[in-house]
Structure 1
Amino acid sequence: MDNNKIIVGSQEWCALPELNIKAVKVRVDSGAKTSALHAVNIVPFKKDGHLWVSYDVHPLQNNGKTTIHCESPVADKRKVKSTSGIVEVRYVIKTFLSIAQSTWEIEVTLTNRDSMGYRMLLGRQAMSGKILVDPEASLLLGDLAKETLNQYYTTHVTKPSGLKIGLLASNPDLYSNRRIIEAGEEKGHHMEFLNIKDCYIKLDGKNPEMHYRGGRILDDYDAIIPRIRPSLTFYGCALTRHFEAMGVYTLNTARAITQSRDKLYALQLLINNGLPIPTTGFANSPLDTDDLIKMVGGAPLIVKLLEGTQGKGVVLAETKKAAESLINAFKSLRANILVQEFVKEADGKDIRCFVVNGKVVESMMRIAAPGEFRANIHMGGSAKLIKITPEEKRIAILAAKTMNLKVAGVDIIRGHNGPLLLEVNSSPGLEGIEGVSSKNIAGMMIEAIERDLKIKK
């Protein structure tokens, strides 16, 4: 064994002195080639004719208040495919790593690691010739007390001075929810996660109230960001509507969310505004199954549950017989379904346009996994950044406007005769879109609230 090498465990504390990061807990991973650092607000710029990048680092996990602003020369740009299949182009910088009284220069990629357990990953390239790993051990070089971390970062903590914003959702650990909390804290707002199931309402014409577990009254919020899962649409929208009645600003209104969740009503609103959709049928009686299939161009066709979301409850019927069996089976269960033409030329791809306050802030193409017909990242698909056409941009903006959504994920496919609108999502996920673009989409959502409430920053 080389006695000059530092022996580390699976996680350790280190420092990046050149970036003024005095302590960050790293995941030591010899299976990864390149190291990665959690960064947001990544913006390239020119300095003395060379490409630089500015970015913000939150060195402590689950803490968006502690922010280190950094600027570094860009050493490289690389395409990296994450474990979830998202392909992103990352900026690479060179900086110094300090660990166990030793310091040397390493390469680090900048990426949003909010969905990961650690703010930094230390890859084998940075460890080569310097470090030996004992994977069964942890913190061999010692742990850091909370008091020490507070001493390191006390001058870098953003003090709440802006709005009080509640995030009304179900899972505080979800990537999108953590990013919104982090983005709000980063901008100096007081952010709080409000679990939908723990909220309850007092209906009173003179003094309506929103209560939280333990009897606490929620009466001092400036804004609410509803992120309601489909199974809680009715209750979550009732809460959102009550906040509105109390005079609290909501980023998406209860009415907008409710109509976007009713797929049939949503499609009717969209076509009434002249938006193109795949030919779609809806019927109640099994006696109409044959004509329903003909109506959408025959098999193969798509059968969608009206209550489904994120690709769930969407089935491809490849033959007429399979379509008849599927439709009649759903009808026997009294399930409400849509029958929709299968746009073969889309080739398992769709486009997700992220719309904030009437602007398409970013777009990505989602590609289905082999053997799948749906472009779903959660089912093994992949994603990449894409430049949309002016017509696709028009459709995305008009679709969000039609549904009265200030924040929306608009899904489009490309057919032989032009783009077709699939769906408008009122609680679009952030992980895929932030991953492929490195844009601070969560921050843009907070800025939309600031703009509507006329908060000067």
Structure 2
Amino acid sequence: MEKITIGSEEWCALSELKIHAIKVRVDSGAKTSSIHAINISTFKKNGEKWVRYEILPIQNNRRINIHCESKVCDTRTVKSSTGISEKRFVIKTPLTIGENTWEIEVTLANRDSMGYRMLLGREAMIDRMIIDPSQQTLIKSYSPSEINTIYKVNKKQESGLKIGLLASNPELYSNKRLIEAGEERGHQMHFLNVQHSYIKMDADTPEIHYRGGNIINGLDAIIPRIKPSVTFYGCALIRQFDSIGAYVLNNAEAITQSRDKLHSSQIFSKNGIQIPTTGFANSPLDTKEVISMVNGAPLIIKLLESTQGKGVVLAETNKAAESVINAFKSLKTNILVQEFIKEAGGRDLRCFVIDGKVVASIERVATKGEFRANIHQGGTANIVKITSEEKKLAIKAAKVLNLDVAGVDLIRSNKGPLLLEVNSSPGLEGIEQATGKDIASMMIAAIEKKILSKK
């Protein structure tokens, strides 16, 4: 068979999957081909394992979304360049480049952060192709208008919902994804910087203004993603939006409670939610008793308003614990002292809860030498199947804090799952990339459901 010459990137088609055009990165250094897939789930068909998934074939375009089903021919565990290990399903499907069609193996992977939606590995090219790395799209090329014609893309219809994202940095992954997901679902999305917003309190015409004098009263919903340093002011804005009739995804009281580790721990305890044994005292005279109360060192010392693993210290001896606790107290800083769950081995679970359901979960693994698993500090994430007990615990934790959206952190111990903390503004990057689920769209869908239920 005569080999065809291809460039470093080419357009191809996967007709069985109804993908009529997708640009692939040609990579002879990779053994297996892979394609960007999200919302992956398995099911049985005629006694065999199949997989459902969605493919977004065009980079930076979520409006073209292909729903697919394929028989699973293999599974492989792969560690991505970001350090996230994931189990990938392998499928077989016909590939067409130019006039040539043959069957290849493809892994379903989250390639959202990559420059190409599909990678063509050497197994698919053996005895069929010659690569000229100095050239691109030697076989065929498509313009954006041709792609729209191929996929029958029409101008999106707006639903009329106006949704504000109240945050500080529009460039953060989570904020960009929420804006993108809302727009792709047909909504008008507005980024509102917390510190550029201000309030007019008036019994007849209460208003929220934005820098420059614009009044922003006409929003249907608000997604608050306020950073800890502006919690007080951000919650004041959230209460104001609530008072003028906007639906708020996580109200101010719920956010305030979740950010006060002492208050939230008391709420969990009151509601029968198991947490690691925790102590709190004001006087240095009680330090030794508090250490004893949580079963002694090693133990964890937490600032009451710590986030993303910052302000959390492991004290390995009682003497070290006394020194750290008393140092914090001398600075008039409030802390919690908590038992150390050694058997967890630097692992914890992040469960993402939306509207009373766990929609995704991952296991986070600490870097070597660290005791706390946190992706922001170099930890890795793996897809994990949580138990029904862990699922119930995550849902209950979000419910008692009255959070519509929450990142619930659990730890596995010898006495069962324990709740570590609940985050009212959970990040999307780690969990979306590890699970391949479109969490941002699920959050927008929750807003749609709440607003439609009131009409």
TM-score bin, normalised by smaller chain: 0.7 to 0.9
> Residues 153 and 195 (structure 1 numbering): CA distance in 2 closer, same or farther, change over 3 Å?
farther
Could you tell me which residue of structure 2 aligns to residue 321 of structure 1? 319
Contact 2:98 2:140 in 1 (8 A): no
Q: Equivalent residue of 1:453, what SS?
A: helix
Could you tell me which residue of structure 1 aligns to residue 105 of structure 2? 107
Q: Which amino acid aligns with 2:261?
A: K
Shift of 1:203: 1.0
Contact 1:59 1:67 in 2 (8 A): yes
Could you tell me which residue of structure 2 aligns to residue 303 of structure 1? 301
Q: Equivalent residue of 2:390, what SS?
A: helix
Q: Equivalent residue of 2:153, what SS?
A: helix
Could you tell me which residue of structure 1 aligns to residue 254 of structure 2? 256
Could you tell me which residue of structure 1 aligns to residue 200 of structure 2? 203
2:314 maps to 1:342: no
Contact 2:6 2:137 in 1 (8 A): no
Q: Which amino acid aligns with 1:448?
A: A
Q: Which amino acid aligns with 2:374?
A: N
2:178 maps to 1:194: no
Could you tell me which residue of structure 2 aligns to residue 37 of structure 1? 35
Contact 2:199 2:240 in 1 (8 A): no
1:118 aligned residue (116, 119, 124): 116
Q: Distance in 1 between matches of 2:135 and 2:393?
A: 54
Q: Distance in 2 between matches of 1:177 and 1:123?
A: 33
Q: Which amino acid aligns with 1:116?
A: M
Unaligned runs of 5+ in 2: none
Contact 1:284 1:331 in 2 (8 A): yes
1:370 aligned residue (368, 372, 388): 368
Q: Equivalent residue of 2:452, what SS?
A: coil
> Residues 357 and 197 (structure 1 numbering): CA distance in 2 closer, same or farther, change over 3 Å?
closer
Contact 2:275 2:418 in 1 (8 A): yes
Q: Which amino acid aligns with 1:427?
A: S
> Residues 121 and 379 (structure 1 numbering): CA distance in 2 closer, same or farther, change over 3 Å?
farther
Could you tell me which residue of structure 1 aligns to residue 392 of structure 2? 394
Aligned residue pair count:
451
Q: Distance in 1 between matches of 2:186 and 2:85?
A: 32
Shift of 1:298: 1.8
Contact 1:38 1:111 in 2 (8 A): yes
Q: Equivalent residue of 1:372, what SS?
A: coil
Q: Which amino acid aligns with 1:60?
A: I
> Residues 290 and 117 (structure 1 numbering): CA distance in 2 closer, same or farther, change over 3 Å?
farther
TM-score (normalizing by structure 1)? 0.85
Q: Equivalent residue of 1:80, what SS?
A: strand
Q: Distance in 1 between matches of 2:346 and 2:82?
A: 18
Could you tell me which residue of structure 2 aligns to residue 354 of structure 1? 352
Q: Equivalent residue of 2:329, what SS?
A: helix
How does 1:264-303 map onto structure 2 within 5 Å? 264-303=262-301
2:411 maps to 1:413: yes
Residues 320-342 of structure 1 show CA distances to partners (whole Å, capped at 9, x for unaligned) of 23223322333344333222111
> Residues 214 and 288 (structure 1 numbering): CA distance in 2 closer, same or farther, change over 3 Å?
same
> Residues 396 and 223 (structure 1 numbering): CA distance in 2 closer, same or farther, change over 3 Å?
same
1:64 aligned residue (62, 80, 86): 62
Bigger shift: 426-435 or 333-342?
Answer: 426-435
Q: Distance in 2 between matches of 1:144 and 1:216?
A: 42
Shift of 1:302: 0.8
Q: Equivalent residue of 2:157, what SS?
A: coil
2:328 maps to 1:330: yes
Unaligned runs of 5+ in 1: none
Shift of 1:93: 2.7
% of aligned pairs identical? 62
Q: Equivalent residue of 1:401, what SS?
A: helix
Q: Which amino acid aligns with 1:203?
A: K
Bigger shift: 103-112 or 343-352?
Answer: 103-112
Contact 1:115 1:175 in 2 (8 A): no
Residues 243-265 of structure 1 show CA distances to partners (whole Å, capped at 9, x for unaligned) of 21221111111221121011111
> Residues 210 and 344 (structure 1 numbering): CA distance in 2 closer, same or farther, change over 3 Å?
same
Could you tell me which residue of structure 1 aligns to residue 310 of structure 2? 312
Q: Distance in 1 between matches of 2:232 and 2:175?
A: 20
Residues 387-408 of structure 1 show CA distances to partners (whole Å, capped at 9, x for unaligned) of 4444433322221111110111
Q: Distance in 1 between matches of 2:28 and 2:313?
A: 41
Shift of 1:5: 5.1
Shift of 1:80: 2.7
Contact 2:87 2:383 in 1 (8 A): no
Q: Distance in 1 between matches of 2:361 and 2:153?
A: 37
Contact 2:194 2:226 in 1 (8 A): no
Q: Which amino acid aligns with 1:289?
A: T
Q: Distance in 1 between matches of 2:12 and 2:234?
A: 43
2:447 maps to 1:449: yes
Shift of 1:50: 5.4
Residues 266-308 of structure 1 show CA distances to partners (whole Å, capped at 9, x for unaligned) of 1122112222222222334444433332332221111112222
Q: Equivalent residue of 1:78, what SS?
A: strand
Contact 1:67 1:158 in 2 (8 A): no
Could you tell me which residue of structure 2 aligns to residue 384 of structure 1? 382
